[in-house]
Amino acid sequence: MPTPEKPILLRDLKNYLVFLKDYGYSDIPLQPDSILGSGSGKSNLSRPSTETTRQPIMTKTRTNAKPNLLLEEVREELGDCTRCNLHSTRKTIVFGSGNPHADLVFVGEGPGADEDEQGLPFVGRAGKKLTEIIEKGMKLNRERDTYICNIVKCRPPENRDPKPDEVTACNPFLIKQLQAIRPKAIVALGKPSASTLLGRTVPIMKERGTWHEYAGIPLMLTLHPAYLLRAYTLENRRNVMNDMNKVLAKLRE
């Protein structure tokens, strides 16, 4: 195998250190695998106490810490997860679906009833609308050109919002999914997803269509397809398509 160039190694090292700092570590872990915590409780690193307020779940530096991380390894590590209470009411873990090397990742909030049944994200009515946006609107292929996942992988009962401790428990796996995929752009679907990714309450009607950054990856905020179905106005549909056109332009850069 060719040896990586020194500048690339230095860049990756710098990004790794910034990533650790932003993620709250004050020491350098000896085992790189432990930086995000697998939920196994094995890490003995110094970390700040868990806060109950929303926290940004990734650093603003593109995570090159584990460039060889594979999505299937992340799924394997997740296992038959019982790290938060959502495991007790779920039928299936909805890890994500699509191309593990996609340039574009859509992130929703959590699985609903249809997703819980089938083990796949965005397969209900809202999912069909998302597919329509991707395939008819953006002229992309959902499975080939995108990867779709959620902030929490198990359905919150009665489709309630995930609780902060549930988001915190599941965060490492979303982070690792993005590390493995390393897309060119992320789209946050709806206010809860946008708020969790940015670590603040996002007024989605005001901020949709604007670019942000998440882990060094351009992040577009847009309306959730379920909201679009509820408020199926010409204005909302136009707004979502305008947002997606911005994403397409970003992918072409």
Nearer to ligand SF4, 69 or 228 (CB): 69
Locus of tokens 């873990």: 93
**Shortest distance in whole angstroms from residue 80 CB to ligand SF4:** 9
* Binding flag, residue 74, ligand SF4 (CB under 6 A): no
Contact criterion met (CB below 8 Å) for 145 and 102? yes
Instruction: Write the CB contacts of 212 (distance below 8 Å, at least 6 apart in sequence).
Output: 197, 198, 218, 219, 220, 221
Query: Pattern 89-118, binding to ligand SF4, x per CB under 6 A?
Result: ----x-------------------------
Distance CA 39, CA 196 (A): 20
Q: Which of 146, 181, 168 minimizes the C-alpha distance to 67? A: 181
* Binding flag, residue 62, ligand SF4 (CB under 6 A): no
Pick from 152, 189, 226, 244 the residue near ligand SF4 by CB under 6 A: 152
Nearer to ligand SF4, 84 or 130 (CB): 84
Pick from 84, 102, 123, 204 the residue near ligand SF4 by CB under 6 A: 84
* Binding flag, residue 166, ligand SF4 (CB under 6 A): yes
Nearer to ligand SF4, 96 or 124 (CB): 96
**Shortest distance in whole angstroms from residue 73 CB to ligand SF4:** 15
Pick from 154, 187, 189, 197 the residue near ligand SF4 by CB under 6 A: 154
* Binding flag, residue 83, ligand SF4 (CB under 6 A): yes
Contact criterion met (CB below 8 Å) for 185 and 218? yes
Contact criterion met (CB below 8 Å) for 187 and 105? yes
* Binding flag, residue 169, ligand SF4 (CB under 6 A): yes
Number of helices (H) and strands (E), helices first, in the chain?
10, 6
Distance CA 209, CA 213 (A): 13
Backbone CA torsion sign across 20, 146, 71, 40: positive
**Shortest distance in whole angstroms from residue 184 CB to ligand SF4:** 26
Contact criterion met (CB below 8 Å) for 147 and 181? yes
The count of other CB atoms within 10 Å of the CB of residue 84 is 19
Nearer to ligand SF4, 170 or 221 (CB): 170
Nearer to ligand SF4, 176 or 208 (CB): 176
Nearer to ligand SF4, 153 or 246 (CB): 153
Distance CA 48, CA 26 (A): 9
Nearer to ligand SF4, 109 or 166 (CB): 166
Q: How is residue 133 annotated by DSSP?
A: I
* Binding flag, residue 36, ligand SF4 (CB under 6 A): no
Binding site for ligand SF4 (CB under 6 A): 78, 81-84, 86-87, 93, 152-154, 166, 169-170
